[in-house]
A and B are shown apart, each in its own frame.
Chain A
Amino acid sequence: NAGVTQTPKFRILKIGQSMTLQCAQDMNHNYMYWYRQDPGMGLKLIYYSVGAGITDKGEVPNGYNVSRSTTEDFPLRLELAAPSQTSVYFCASSYGYEKLFFGSGTQLSVL
Chain B
Amino acid sequence: GESVGLHLPTLSVQEGDNSIINCAYSNSASDYFIWYKQESGKGPQFIIDIRSNMDKRQGQRVTVLLNKTVKHLSLQIAATQPGDSAVYFCAEILSSGSARQLTFGSGTQLTVLP
Contacts and interface: CB of A to CB of B under 8 A. Distances in A.
For the complex of A and B, the 6 pairs showing the least CB-CB separation, nearest first, are A102-B43, A42-B104, A97-B100, A43-B104, A42-B106, A102-B44
Interface of B: 4, 32, 34, 41-46, 49, 89, 93, 99-107
Contacts of B107: 40-42
Interface residues of A, number: 22
A43 B32 CA distance: 17
A90 B106 contact: no
A103 B43 contact: yes
B93 A102 contact: no
B101 A100 contact: no
A40 B107 CA distance: 8
Nearest to A103: B43
A61 interface: no
Nearest to B5: A42
Contacts of B4: 42
A78 interface: no
